[in-house]
Amino acid sequence: VLAEHNAIVKRLPSVETLGSVSAICSDKTGTLTLNKMTAVEFTVPGQNRYRVTGEGYGTQGELQLTRGIPPGQPWQKGGAAYGTEGQIKSAGGAKIDLEQVMLPMALCADARLDGETLIGDPTEGALIVLAEKGGISVDDARELYPRVAEVPFDSDYKFMATFHNMTNENGQPVVRCFVKGAPDVLIARGSYFWVPGAEAVAVTDENHQLALAENARMAEAGERVMVVARRDFDPQTFDPKANLIELVTNLTLIAMVGIVDPPRPEARDAIAKCHSAGIQVRMITGDHAVTAAAIGHQLGIEGRALTGAEFAAIPDEQLKQQLGQIGVVARVAPEDKIRLVRLLQEQQNIVAMTGDGVNDAPALKKADIGVAMGITGTEVSKEAAVMILTDDNFATIVKAVEYGRAIYDNLSKYIRFQMTALVAFILAYLGAAMFYIAGGQPFGALVVLWINFFIQVPIAIALGLSQPLPGLMEKKPRPLSQPILSQAQWMRMSFIGFLIALGTLVLEAAYEPIDPALAATMGFVIFSLFNVAMGISSLSETDTVFQRSILTDRQQLMYYGVSILLILLSTELRIFQRILGLVSLSGGQWLLCIGLAFALILVYEVMKFFLRQGRGEDQSGAAVVGQEPALV
């Protein structure tokens, strides 16, 4: 069933654990969002700001100047209202050449487009689409300026750099390094800011703050910010085999690109369902903390945002006290994920952690439920996880948790039914022996087997396959240490078992002087009908059976109908009468047995009413306050 809902569970016992999940730590990209990165704006800090139209990986769209200053002007704070809402090629009547802005996006990337299908990293996809919208043919640019060396992206240093043979603005041959990466990293490595139509300006305290302010503005809008930069080297002295990371310094910062990844439409509702179910949701992301906080707010994730560095700096005991107020952890290291899982587990949480990379494997292994991505996940992460999402969707995790709760709920129903029936059998035999009713044996051996295999089995199947009742995801998670049956439940089951045994023995004792075979039949029928009534009432421990969701469930009615039909055939068909030692009943006798079975349902209803009052529940069964009464 879970596989049909895009969740593959590798180990069956984990399904029970799913129902107890109390904390979910989820990746953002692709799980909470669509993983369809789109550049929506880019800015040359202190100079021009452009809006980008179009969505997804289609190259149809425009670049529109929304704020800027005339080309060639020196760095200015804020700039003038210049060429607003105009096409970039005709802003204020002057042509603005953006080739130098677009080339890093085209060349410092490995992704490529096949029509509107992206092959490669989604963030790179947003950048190469932006380059195409800006008039750069990515394929032609890569052919014209082949890569001679590169620094692959790594989460440790948070940038990628490529090196290309080309000529500078003066026509001199250079090896140009193009870099893309996190704003805080590249701004710190920058020495100059590029100015359209003028000489680059050196970094000063003022323009450095302007760049940081622009980054903060974009991040607060929920945009993932990427910075593109460059640096030129002399071809005669450049060594492609050198430690290239050390060369990615003294950069000329070119532009900041704002990228959005739209939240999945179903993610917000799934998170809201988690909150109502008492499940904490935290977002783990590589984005800037301000960006992550804005996206978390859009998704309905509560709590403040911390950076990975801030998270790592807080001592364990202090962090445990603050975990309830933390909703987002940004720029987090793999070891921080493991620490987060450990601290949550030390607070008695059952933790689900999502991940897709090789570095995520230890955290997935540490979590109670490691969840790997089926589409974007690595084989290492899938091996470490116990559940794989074939659609990479957060809502699928919530469905799996709901299914886990339903499985446990149905198991609990089945056990309550079987244990109550067992108590009733034991008390019936003890009572018959003590008061010498029916010769000390209320049922023959074949009758007991018939009840066990043909009357109770359809009821047990009905309980095991029953649909989740309303309110299942409005209850708080069940601790794994909690026993399946509490002391109060054992007392209630014993009480019901006593009533069933009492009703059975009273009828047998009443009819035994008339006809022992009739007494045995009455005992069989009433005990079997009590089982049917008990099964129906066991569908919910607190909800009334007189509700639409139960009375209109055809599958349930079919299974109970099978049990009732077998009870009827057992007493009316001669072949069964001979095998089981039973006789036919009159209409009045049937009505008596049915009436007593219905009375048992009413006893259940009274108990459920007081349980709802004691727990502070409404008809949906959603727990509010209070403790479970021991016995009503």
Q: Which active-site residues does the annotation give?
A: 27
Q: What is the DSSP letter of 200?
A: -
CA distance 165 to 142: 11
Residue 278 burial by CB count (10 A; 0-12/13-18/19+): exposed, middle or buried? middle
Half-sphere exposure of 116 (CA within 13 A, CB side): 9
Tell me how far CA of residue 595 lies from CA of 263, 338, 605, in angstroms: 56, 60, 15
Nearest in space to 409 (alpha carbons), one of 539, 547, 601:
539
Nearest in space to 47 (alpha carbons), one of 80, 22, 3:
80
CA distance 474 to 479: 15
Output the DSSP codes for 563-582: HHHHHHHHHHSHHHHHHHT-
**226 in Cβ contact with 123 (< 8 Å):** yes
Hey, which residues does 372 pair with through a beta bridge? 355, 388
b/e code 100-135 from CB counts within 10 Å (16+ = b): ebbbbbbbbbebebeeeebeebbbbbbbbbbbbbbe
Amino acid identity of 514?
I
Amino acid identity of 394?
F
Estimate the share of the chain in helix, then strand, then coil, as percent rounded to the nearest 5: 50, 20, 35
**601 in Cβ contact with 545 (< 8 Å):** yes
Tell me how far CA of residue 433 lies from CA of 94, 499, 528, 614, in angstroms: 106, 17, 20, 38
